[in-house]
Amino acid sequence: MKILLHACCGPCSLEPVRLLRAAGHDLTIAYMNSNIAPADEYARRLSTLRAWAAGEQLDVLEGAYDPAAWEACAGRVGTAEGDPARRKARCRACYRLRFEEASALAAEQGFDALGTTLSVSPYQYTDVIREELERAASAAGVQPLFEDYRPFYDEATHRSREMGMYRQNYCGCRFSDVEAATERAERKAQRAAAREAEAAAHAEERAAAETARAAKKAERAAYDAKQARKRAVLKALRDQERDEG
């Protein structure tokens, strides 16, 4: 099939492209990601994707970068603020906007199907990705081609690192940037707390061992003193016997 593959970045494209090409499909990549902020982050991800795609002889079609349109649909849902349902609703709106744009392009340019690389990440809402991809593609008269690529996430991570690809540390939108930074800070604090707890436990172990050594040393000293007293008494008795004899 002639497939338009919606891609969020270079690293997430590696395994989907490999698998789809192995299945014999003709691929073109669509970079339609108005969610990505700030603009220089958007450009950096696109540059990384284009550089890799050129080596793979893949065309990359760029959609309009329209952060205002994203803010109007997904941005208005706002931050999760500890509410998973709200975060999921924001991501759904984000997927919907991007898939609708990609579906329209696929229909306009005569592609047989629309796929996406978003399902590589275990941090995304895979079920929602599938629902929104199928909804948008079907509405545009294009076949939806959903694949759950999560089993290949580790391989994609390994390959992209080996290739020296730029790897972003948040999904893309301004909310995910803050959320990811918060999660990283929490993990860092947890690791620091774990190290402190481990150090404290080791300190207690060392203190207990030192106490045990000191007790054993004192016991040995007491024993040696007792033996010394015995020897002194025996010597005194021997001396006395010698003097009397």
Flag whether 12 is marked binding.
Answer: no
**pLDDT tens column, 120-135:** 999 999 999 999 999 9
Superfamily of domain 2-172: HUPs (3.40.50.620)
Flag whether 73 is marked binding.
Answer: no
Looking at residue 106, what is its pLDDT? 98
Mean pLDDT of the chain: 92
Answer with the residue of higher pLDDT: 161 or 187: 161
Looking at residue 182, what is its pLDDT? 82
Place of tokens 């270079």: 10
Gap between the Cα atoms of 201 and 93, Å rounded:
48
Looking at residue 245, what is its pLDDT? 65
- Give strand ranges (E) for 32-107: 60-62
Q: Is residue 184 over pLDDT 80?
A: no
Q: What is the pTM of this model?
A: 0.78
Flag whether 91 is marked binding.
Answer: yes
**pLDDT tens column, 83-102:** 778 889 999 999 999 999 99
Looking at residue 25, what is its pLDDT? 98
Flag whether 9 is marked binding.
Answer: yes
Gap between the Cα atoms of 187 and 190, Å rounded:
5
Enumerate the domain spans of the chain. 2-172
14 by DSSP, 3-state: which?
Answer: helix
- Give strand ranges (E) for the chain: 2-6, 26-31, 60-62, 113-116, 143-144
What count of other Cβ atoms lies within 10 Å of the Cβ of residue 111? 26
